[in-house]
């Protein structure tokens, strides 16, 4: 996509293979902190839990196009760089449809102090560093801490840049 730098060696899955894909953006600030947003309490999947930016890749979209769209929709920022692939997971939220999620460490441009959250979908945000990681766990089951794990991977990768 025009204007988005993709680091060498990053491959994107073919999203036209009939599977349901989720593009996840682990957004890194220049100081290495990672962006997290809280899902609204009425959301069907992971209500009132902390999450990264991301969502379903729409029919006809590439993974990169879905990633850029989700960043814009959920924050108002523009995706500028895909720095690394951090995490892949297949999961089913209980509806019988397996999602293939791929999460990427990214950089964006825009006012990082004022994301434009989707009001009906997210209620608050924070920039996470190592001491704030435990806040992401909310009241989840310990087996469901994968958002904490993804953000930790983002923090580690951002530190190496």
- pLDDT tens profile 22-31: 999 999 999 9
Q: What is the pLDDT of residues 57-100, one digit of tens each?
A: 999 999 999 999 999 999 999 999 999 999 999 988 888 899 99
Q: What is the pLDDT of residues 8-19, one digit of tens each?
A: 999 999 999 999
In whole angstroms, what is the distance from residue 138 CA to residue 130 CA? 16
**Matching residue, tokens 């991977």:** 153
| Residue 72 · residue 66 · CB < 8 Å | no
User: Which has the closest alpha carbon to 35: 134, 87, 113, 140?
Assistant: 113
pLDDT band at 47 (very low <50, low <70, confident <90, very high): confident
pLDDT at 120: 92
User: Which has the closest alpha carbon to 1: 23, 34, 32, 29?
Assistant: 23
* Strands 34-39, 50-51: pairing kind: antiparallel
Mean pLDDT for 36-58 is 92
Q: What is the pLDDT of residues 112-128, one digit of tens each?
A: 999 999 989 999 999 99
**Matching residue, tokens 């993974």:** 63
151: buried, middle or exposed (CB in 10 Å: 19+, 13-18, 0-12)? buried
Tell me which fold the domain 5-159 belongs to.
Answer: Nucleoside Triphosphate Pyrophosphohydrolase (3.90.79)
pLDDT at 143: 59
Q: What is the dihedral of CA 58, 104, 54, 118, to 10 degrees?
A: -130
In whole angstroms, what is the distance from residue 136 CA to residue 51 CA? 8
pLDDT of 133 strictly over 90: yes
């Amino acid at each position: 996509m025009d204007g988005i730098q993709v680091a060498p060696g990053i491959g994107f899955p073919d999203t036209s293979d009939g599977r349901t894909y989720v593009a996840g953006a682990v957004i890194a600030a220049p100081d290495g902190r990672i962006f997290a947003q809280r899902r609204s309490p009425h959301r069907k999947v992971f209500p009132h839990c902390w999450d990264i930016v991301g969502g379903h890749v729409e029919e006809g979209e590439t993974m990169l196009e879905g990633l850029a769209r989700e960043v814009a929709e959920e924050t108002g920022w523009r995706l500028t760089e895909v720095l690394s692939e951090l995490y892949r997971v297949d999961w089913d939220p209980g509806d019988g449809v397996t999602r293939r999620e791929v999460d990427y460490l990214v950089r964006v441009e825009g006012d990082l102090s004022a994301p434009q959250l989707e009001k009906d979908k997210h209620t608050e945000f924070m920039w996470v560093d190592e001491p704030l990681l435990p806040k992401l766990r909310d009241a989840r089951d310990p087996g469901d801490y994968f958002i904490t794990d993804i953000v930790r991977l983002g923090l580690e990768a951002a530190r190496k840049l």
